[in-house]
Amino acid sequence: MLEMQFDGNLVLSAYHFADPGYWTTQTFAANVRLVFHKSASLYLVNGTEDEIYSITKNLSSLVEDYYHRVTVEDGGNFQQYIYHKRNGSGWKRVWRVNDDPCFVNSVCGIYAMCTSPDNETVSCSCLPGYLQVDPRDVSKGCYQENMVNYCADPSMRNFSTMVIGDADFPPDITNGDLGEVRNVDVEGCKKAVMDDYYTLAASWVNSTCIKKRIPLLNARKAFRNVLKRWKSSNAKTIGINFREFTLQELREATNGFSKILGRGASGRVYCEMVVGHEPEALSDFKRFERMALVGLWCINPDPILRPSMRKVTQMLEGAVEVGIPPQVYDYVSNYRKY
């Protein structure tokens, strides 16, 4: 998205308001305008029509002989094309913002690596341990196949690190990187990643280990080493394998969706009545109830009452009892006994 901000800065970004931009003009002035001149040059002018920033200039393709167009491509690159008026056989690019298409933010989505061997096409692949959300649309990124309990057992027995050569995560301009550890070698950077529950990856460059925030964004082939925390075969995961219910079954079980336990960003949570006392049905319901209650704790309006990720993991595994959130106690107190 190409946007002229209120402060006069022209920004090319992936998301409105949520992305600081992967190309900016840094022209902070009043009443700035983008001009596509009849000479085919692009530039910015201020409120007094003075040119303050030149984007493209010295193009040899004159407007008398060529059609010109400027566009933001699907891949997020801002480019200018020409087409010969008399014997043109196709549009030819004469300028673009980024020579490397992988420098477009989020071009491959989260937890993915961007590679461009020819600086024209983009190839997206998931980071180790992740799968593509939609193979038909690589920009949707990747997801972790299993929920990994990083906090319960962070020992070297269950986790290890791997080095991805010639790769990098760019700096997080918006929130800042998670932290830096200076004057360390690769092994020292590995230890820094393993010792931090909140770190899944880091860049190691010039003897500095730069720990990255999650979700991991904009990984690309470069000339630095990226360290990725990797789950070994005996690492502990949380398996979820619930039965799928039809809408009619859910309507009957919830008495027509009559009792609401709580609300979250994704919708409402309803109270279910268990019909029958079959062990399998009761076991499934117990697991479902635990998941629902954990979700309600996580969306509690009072941030102080929300559990940490470590405690959430313990709740899901059954190591910690899941109580009734204060806001929904009156709804479910009569339905805990089966």
pLDDT in tens, 289-306: 888 888 888 877 776 777
- Pairwise CA distance, residues 97 & 10, whole Å: 12
Given a cut of 80, whether residue 20 has pLDDT beyond it is no
**What's 145's DSSP letter?**
S
- Pairwise CA distance, residues 110 & 133, whole Å: 10
- Say what the pLDDT of residue 240 is: 38
Chain region(s) in the chain for CATH 2.90.10: 2-98
- Say what the pLDDT of residue 91 is: 92
- Say what the pLDDT of residue 52 is: 93
Nearest one of 250, 258, 325 to 292, comparing CA atoms = 325
Q: Which residues of 159-169 are buried (b: 16+ CB within 10 A; e: fewer)?
A: bebeebeebbb
Q: In the chain, what percentage of residues exceed pLDDT 70?
A: 73
| Residue 93, H or E segment | strand 92-96
Given a cut of 50, whether residue 236 has pLDDT beyond it is no
Q: Do 149 and 136 touch, CB atoms closer than 8 A?
A: no
Mean pLDDT across 48-64? 84
What is 2-98's CATH number? 2.90.10
- Between 213 and 224, name the one with better pLDDT: 213
Tell me the β-bridge partners of 67.
83
- The average confidence (pLDDT) of the chain is 77
Is the pTM above the cut of 0.75?
Answer: no
Would you say domain 112-237 falls under CATH 1.10.3720.10? no
pLDDT in tens, 142-196: 988 776 666 665 554 566 778 888 787 777 666 678 888 999 998 898 888 888 8
Nearest one of 160, 174, 165 to 204, comparing CA atoms = 165
**Residue 271 identity:** C
- Say what the pLDDT of residue 40 is: 86
- Between 85 and 285, name the one with better pLDDT: 85
Given a cut of 80, whether residue 93 has pLDDT beyond it is yes
Chain region(s) in the chain for CATH 3.50.4.10: 112-237
- Pairwise CA distance, residues 105 & 102, whole Å: 8
- Pairwise CA distance, residues 293 & 300, whole Å: 11
Given a cut of 80, whether residue 82 has pLDDT beyond it is yes
- Pairwise CA distance, residues 1 & 169, whole Å: 22
End-to-end CA distance of the chain: 55
Q: How far is CA 269 from the centre of its chain?
A: 26
